[in-house]
Amino acid sequence: MKRIYLDYAATTPTHPEVMKEMLPFFNQIYGNPSSIYQLAQRAKGAVEEARKKVAELINAKPEEIIFTSGGTEADNLAIKGVAWANKKKGNHIITSKIEHHAVLNTCKWLEKQGFKVTYISVDKYGIINLDELKDSLTDKTILISIMHANNEVGTIQPLLEISKIAQRRGIYFHTDAVQTVGKVPTDVKESGVDLLSLSGHKLYGPKGVGALYIRKGVKVLPLIHGGHHERNKRAGTENVPGIVGLGKACELAAREMATERRKLKMLRDRLYKGLSEQIEDIVLNGHPQNRLPGNLNICVKYVEGESMLINLDLEGICASSGSACTSGSLEPSHVLLAMGIPPEIAHGSLRFSLGRDTTEKEIDRVIEVLPPIVKKLRAMSPFGKKIKSGEYRG
């Protein structure tokens, strides 16, 4: 059975050209970039070359890019780093209810350290409430952290409008752009963000590497102390192969983004159309237009997400769900709940995220395979008779 991978928002396969670029840095150009001989300086040169490529993709200056171990570390560095460095200015942070846990749990931890955090609500499409954001601002607000696009439902936030609000008050604005960099144009100058997190493995680069854009002049304290690496913002010998891979991935993304976006959107729309024609009572989650091109998130009413995922896996199809069972907690996705979706419906969510290797044939296979799975599970569901009798309305 051929595997059909539709979980590119979770991670992507490393691009063969990226792997090729990385390989020499394991055992040929293995010098420590901090050393002075040529073997080391070549490695250092490669790191700086990668920094340029990352910067170019998001329209930043190379010296504004700090390499990290991934998106989570970039989010931690942005939020804790700004909070600690600006403690004298204030102790208030604003974020949203639908952030990735890398942001949410960092904020929750800061609350325990005495910081105040406001979690802004979102509308039914997952767009943050700008009025609520404005009303939450205080003299003590030092940071606003709102993600660029949501990892579950794909909704893209109006960064420019948020940055205008932040700039007027001299508040730093961080965005977790892990899902957007390389997928949709992400321009730090145009959007006016002060800090931006990105991750290598979401854009066909390797796992274990990411970066934080820190606009020149923004005060950030490091999380990791040690040597003078990364402009004293992130100590530790550079992950040279990983950084080189991230650089190459950014270069490829810049080249392929436009055609890739069109293709993904076409296939994504085909998938939704096919599924909604064959399965009754499914709901599209997220914004119908302002969303990531490769993201499709639906709720299939009266069935639970994990049971669909396991059935799909048996057919070789990899997808994900926001059901409690897949998160290891007892509650379904905080994102779907924040969008006002009732818990019993949120448990039936499915996320298909498409990527560069996705084909029309694969999409058609999913359209063929999922309806009978849903039918089988619905026959097993106690909601069935309630649906028939009209007692249950989702």
Residues contributing to the site for another protein (CB under 8 A): 1, 302-307, 310, 313-314, 316, 323-326, 328, 330-332, 342-344, 347, 379-385
As measured in angstroms, the least distance from the Cβ of 331 to another protein is 7
Provide DSSP, 335-376.
HHHHTT--HHHHTTEEEEE--TT--HHHHHHHHHHHHHHHHH
Shorter beta-carbon distance to another protein: residue 233 or 347:
347
Rounded least distance, CB 344 to another protein, Å: 3
The Cα-based distances of 308 to 19, 313, 348, 369 in angstroms read: 34, 9, 8, 11
* Rounded Cα distance, 93 and 228, in Å: 29
Whether residue 223 contacts residue 80, with contact meaning beta carbons closer than 8 Å, is answered with: yes
Judge contact between 126 and 98, C-beta under 8 A: yes
Report the residue number, 19 or 325, with the smaller CB distance to another protein. Answer: 325
Strands, E assignment, 215-343: 282-285, 295-300, 317-318
Measured CA to CA, the distance from residue 392 to residue 258 in angstroms comes to 44
Nearer to another protein, 253 or 303 (CB): 303
Asked if residue 194 lies in contact with residue 64, where contact means CB atoms within 8 angstroms, the answer is no
Cβ atoms within 10 Å, residue 49:
15
Separation CA 293–CA 155 (nearest Å): 10
CB of 279 to another protein, least distance (A): 16
Q: Helix H segments across 279-327?
A: 305-314, 324-327
299 is catalytic: no
Least distance CB 332 / another protein (angstroms): 6
Of 216 and 330, the one with the shorter C-beta distance to another protein is 330
Q: CA-CA distance, 272 to 263, in Å (whole number)? A: 14
Active-site option among 107, 250, 318, 325: 325
Q: Pick the closer one to another protein by CB: 100 or 378.
A: 378
Rank residues 126 and 305 by Cβ distance to another protein and give the closer one.
305
User: CB of 337: closest distance to another protein in angstroms?
Assistant: 10
Question: What number of other Cβ atoms are within 10 A of residue 130's Cβ?
Answer: 15
By annotation, the residues acting in catalysis are 325
